């Protein structure tokens, strides 16, 4: 994945296909508690997690094309958190804490996650006794299938492998959120 900051500030390139830069600089907590939700003008709750639709998505400093591009995301399916809405623009926050505005057409409602922290073990069954399926490094993006009520694990898919990862190591789901 490539994520560029406009204005000559920098360009970060990940070494692996499914990884995202910033392994040691994650500002957002994987264990975010579900915030008090309100209903946005779209009729959907705020805040909420969505995913980037395209391999190139511009983040702007304000809600409109007249505002400068501050980031270019080059990772389809990267999870972002919608924190505000204005017309057809969505103010989002990424896993590193960067905030800006993205056109509504550039996000989709299906759920993804990014792994945080150390290498995690993808397991065939939820819980530490589940049979190991794969080792998943930090900053890997995957598909979130479900997170049962009261469970410390979520069922996920990473590079065609399905299993369970600890909720505490994922950004893209709230601590007590139920995902079906």
- pTM, entire model: 0.82
- Provide, rounded to the nearest whole percent, the portion of the chain with pLDDT above 70: 81
Residue 88 lies in a domain: yes
Residues 84 and 138 in one domain: no
Residue 146 lies in a domain: yes
Residues 120 and 165 in one domain: yes
Residue at token pair 């995957």 = 142
Residue 80: band (very low, low, confident or very high) from pLDDT cuts 50, 70, 90: very high
More reliable by pLDDT, 67 or 41: 67
Residue 35: DSSP 8-state = P
Coil vs helix vs strand at 169:
helix
Residues 83 and 165 in one domain: no
Residues 101 and 140 in one domain: no
pLDDT tens digits for 104-160?
999 999 999 999 999 999 999 999 999 999 999 999 999 999 999 999 999 999 999
Residues 6 and 65 in one domain: yes
Residue 93: DSSP 8-state = E
Residue 144 lies in a domain: yes
Residues 55 and 140 in one domain: no
Sheet strands (E) in 14-131: 38-39, 45-46, 48-52, 57-60, 69-74, 79-86, 89-93, 99-103, 107-108, 112-115, 120-123
pLDDT tens digits for 10-40?
222 222 334 444 434 444 555 566 667 898 8
Cβ partners under 8 Å of residue 172, min gap 6: 49, 79, 95, 111, 112, 113, 114, 144
Structure tokens belonging to residue 131: 């049979």
């Amino acid at each position: 994945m490539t994520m560029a900051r406009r204005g000559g500030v920098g360009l970060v390139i990940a070494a692996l296909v499914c990884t995202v830069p910033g392994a040691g600089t994650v500002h957002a907590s994987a264990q975010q508690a579900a915030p008090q939700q309100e209903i946005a003008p779209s009729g959907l709750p705020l805040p909420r997690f969505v995913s980037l639709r395209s391999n190139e998505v511009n983040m702007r400093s304000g809600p409109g094309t007249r505002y400068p591009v501050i980031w270019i995301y080059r990772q389809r399916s990267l999870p972002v958190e919608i924190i505000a809405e204005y017309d057809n623009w969505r103010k989002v926050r990424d896993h590193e804490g960067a905030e800006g505005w993205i056109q509504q057409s550039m996000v989709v409602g299906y759920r993804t996650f990014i792994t945080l922290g150390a290498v995690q073990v993808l397991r065939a069954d939820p819980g530490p006794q589940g049979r190991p399926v794969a080792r998943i490094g930090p900053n890997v993006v995957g598909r979130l299938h479900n997170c049962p009520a009261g469970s410390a694990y979520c069922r996920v898919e990473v590079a065609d492998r399905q299993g369970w990862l600890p909720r505490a190591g994922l950004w893209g789901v709230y601590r007590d959120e139920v995902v079906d």
